Amino acid sequence: MQASARPCPECATLVSATDNFCERCGCDLAVFEVSVGSSVAAACQNCGSSAITADGYCEQCGHLAPSGRDHVEIDLGSLAGVTDRGRRHQRNEDAMALAVTQTPAGPATLAVVCDGVSSSHRPDDASLAAAETALRVLTAEVRTGTAAADAVTSAAVAAQKAVGDMAAGSEDAPATTIVCACVTATAVTVSWIGDSRAYWLPPDHADARLLTQDDSLAAVWVALGALTEAEAVESADGHVLTRWLGADAEHVEPHRTSFEPPGPGVLLLCSDGLWNYEPSAAGLAELMPPAPLENLAGAARALAEFALDSGGEDNITAVLASFPPR
């Protein structure tokens, strides 16, 4: 077997490393994972009983058992992520979706992070629907050669429709934020709505930078010069969103930006459950373990553990992608 060949997972026919589909059986060869677990845990973490009711409570001690989404780790080598319920919330309303695929110009890593709006209806379902929809559209677009900037925009727009459709026949509109990225051999391209963020974290921490700008009252106050960033983030209404995905959203045109890194590094996508505790790019870069490109899964885990150790007040998601894709 040649190094560039691999067996199809469905029929075992040898396929090229640059193929997206198996020519024999049509199997989709892209690596595609979403942070979905079982709806209810197999056993209660409080007493160990396996008698868990359909609504997630232990019949023995009455404690709420963690769902499969409470803690999920995905490792695709050049792309990895961790999402965790945190210490205060009863469920994980964050979601992540990751893929590695081929484009006409070469390999690409694709990632989406969504943070369900807790004050809305079914925020956990909203974030999951948005993440999965966005990644499927993003994957399909880049495979056909669509420019990365157009592809990430289309992905966010499709996610908006998916979340908006969830409100059909209901007075309550589910809502979520979104940040999605396409990493190729030449550039990092990001689109977003809300306050989930993207950071560039190179080996030289001095060049670390925030690539997104929050859609929040805090960002408005800072832009007006009314508050410093630290004061705005600490304020009671600082995290109130000015834009989001959902049927009741007034402005759904995604922001987008492209960045051509001067050398190797890591792209971080995260929810505010992480950056609340360290909003600066340089500070997040300092939290990364040595040689993160050699173990992205371990680095993502370290960031999540930092947020948990800092209090874990919110759901936490950290996704890391290597540049260039490996």
- Residue-wise pLDDT for 28-48, tens only, equals 656 779 998 644 455 565 676
Clarify whether residues 182 and 45 are in a common domain: no
Clarify whether residues 91 and 200 are in a common domain: yes
Asked, for residue 35, whether it belongs to a domain, the answer is: no
User: Over the chain, what is the mean pLDDT?
Assistant: 89
Percent of the chain past pLDDT 90, that is, above it, reads 68
Clarify whether residues 4 and 46 are in a common domain: no
Asked if residue 21 has pLDDT above 70, the reply is: no
| C-alpha distances out from residue 215 to 165, 222, 244, 296, Å | 22, 12, 8, 28
CATH number, residue 134: 3.60.40.10
Clarify whether residues 23 and 97 are in a common domain: no
Q: What is the pLDDT of residue 17?
A: 57
Beta bridge partners of 94: 115
Lowest mean per-residue pLDDT among 56-60, 200-204, 317-321: 56-60
Q: Quick: pLDDT tens for 131-143.
A: 999 999 999 999 9
Mean pLDDT over 206-218 rounds to 94
Nearest CA-CA partner of 155 in 173, 118, 129: 129
Strand order in the sheet with 94-103: 31-34, 94-103, 106-115, 178-183, 188-193, 255-259
44-53, 64-73, 217-226, 229-238: which has the highest mean pLDDT? 217-226
Percent of the chain past pLDDT 70, that is, above it, reads 86
Mean pLDDT over 157-181 rounds to 92
C-alpha–C-alpha distance, residues 254 and 163, integer Å = 15
Clarify whether residues 182 and 98 are in a common domain: yes
Asked if residue 154 has pLDDT above 50, the reply is: yes
Clarify whether residues 61 and 151 are in a common domain: no
Clarify whether residues 109 and 160 are in a common domain: yes
Mean pLDDT over 272-299 rounds to 95
Asked if residue 228 has pLDDT above 50, the reply is: yes
Specify the pTM.
Answer: 0.85
More confident residue, 232 or 153: 153
Provide the angle, in degrees to the nearest 10, between the axes of the packed helices 123-143 and 148-165.
150
Mean pLDDT over 57-63 rounds to 81
Side chain identity at residue 300, one-letter code: A
Clarify whether residues 97 and 149 are in a common domain: yes
Count of domains observed in the chain? 3
Q: Which domain holds residue 23?
A: 1-30
Asked, for residue 13, whether it belongs to a domain, the answer is: yes
Clarify whether residues 4 and 117 are in a common domain: no
Clarify whether residues 160 and 52 are in a common domain: no
Asked, for residue 233, whether it belongs to a domain, the answer is: yes
Q: What is the pLDDT of residue 206?
A: 83
More confident residue, 120 or 237: 120
Clarify whether residues 7 and 86 are in a common domain: no
pLDDT band at 3 (very low <50, low <70, confident <90, very high): very low
Clarify whether residues 50 and 145 are in a common domain: no
Task: Return the HEC string of the chain.
Answer: CCCCEEECCCCCCEEECCCCECCCCCCECCEEEECCCCCCCCCCCCCCCCCECCCCEECCCCCECCCCCCEEEEECCCEEEEEECCCCCCCCCEEEEEEEEEECCEEEEEEEEEEECCCCCCHHHHHHHHHHHHHHHHHHHHHCCCCHHHHHHHHHHHHHHHHHHCCCCCCCCCEECEEEEEECCCCEEEEEECCCEEEEECCCHHHCEECCCCCEHHHHHHHHCCCCHHHHHHCCCCCCECCCEECCCCCCCCEEEEECCCCCEEEEEECHHHHCCCCCHHHHHHHCCCCHHHCHHHHHHHHHHHHHHCCCCCCEEEEEEEECCC
Mean pLDDT over 150-168 rounds to 96
